[in-house]
Amino acid sequence: MKAYEIRDRFGLQQLTLTERPAPPCGHGQVRIRVKAVSLNYRDYLVVQGEYNPRQRLPLIPVSDGVGEVVETGPGVEGIRVGERVAGSFVQGWLAGPMPARAGATTLGSPLDGMLAEEVVLPETGVIAPPDHLTDIEAATLPCAALTAWSALFVHGRLGPGQTVLLEGTGGVSLFALQFALLAGARVIITSKSDEKLEKAAGLGAHHTINYRQTPDWGKAVQALTGGSAAGVDLVIEVGGAETLPQALRAVRVGGTICLIGILSGNRVELPLTSILMRGVRVQGLLVGSREGFEAMNRAIASHQIRPVVDRVFPFEQAGEAFSYLASGRHFGKVCIAVGD
DSSP letter (8 states) at residue 23: P
Q: Which is nearer to its own copies, 38 or 147 (CB)?
A: 147
* Rounded Cα–Cα distance for residues 65 and 93 (Å): 18
Contact 165, 225 (CB under 8 A): no
Per CB under 8 A, the segment of 7-15, 165-173, 197-205, 295-303 that binds its own copies is 295-303
Residue 184 vs 314, nearer CB to its own copies: 184
How would you class 195 by CB atoms within 10 Å of its CB: exposed for 0-12, middle for 13-18, buried for 19 or more?
exposed
User: Which CB, 279 or 314, lies closer to its own copies?
Assistant: 279
Q: Are 335 and 189 in contact (CB under 8 A)?
A: no
Residue 111 CA to residue 23 CA, distance in Å, equals: 14
Does residue 79 bind its own copies (CB under 8 A)? no
Length of the chain: 340
**Candidates 14-22, 60-68, 135-143, 178-186; binding stretch for its own copies (CB under 8 A):** 178-186
CB 264 within 8 A of CB 242: yes
Letters for 28-67 (x = contact with its own copies by CB under 8 A, - = none) are x---------------------------------------
DSSP conformation class of 128: P
Identified binder of its own copies from the candidate list 70, 182, 312, 326, rule CB under 8 A: 182
Q: Which is nearer to its own copies, 82 or 160 (CB)?
A: 160
Candidates 1-9, 63-71, 166-174, 260-268; binding stretch for its own copies (CB under 8 A): 260-268
Q: Pattern 301-330, binding to its own copies, x per CB under 8 A? A: xxx---------------------------
From CA 65, how far away is CA 35, in angstroms rounded?
Answer: 8
CB of 316 to its own copies, least distance (A): 33
24 contacts its own copies (rule: CB under 8 A)? no
What is the rounded radius of gyration, in angstroms, for the C-alpha atoms of the chain? 20
Answer for which of 194, 215, 216, 270 binds its own copies (CB under 8 A) is 270
The kind and range of the H/E element at 220 are helix 217-224
Task: Report the DSSP beta bridge partners of residue 159.
Answer: none
Residue 281 within binding range of its own copies, rule CB under 8 A: yes
CA distance 240 to 233: 18
DSSP state string for 253-265: EEEEEEE---TT-
Q: Does 12 bind its own copies (CB under 8 A)?
A: no
Quote the least distance from Cβ 157 to its own copies, whole Å.
7
Query: Considering the rule CB under 8 A, would residue 13 count as an interface residue with its own copies?
Result: no
| DSSP class per residue in 188-209 | EEEES-HHHHHHHHHTT-SEEE
Q: Which residues bind its own copies (CB under 8 A)?
A: 26-28, 74-75, 94-103, 153, 157, 159-162, 179, 182-184, 186, 228-230, 240-241, 244, 252-254, 259-262, 266-273, 275-286, 289, 291, 295-303
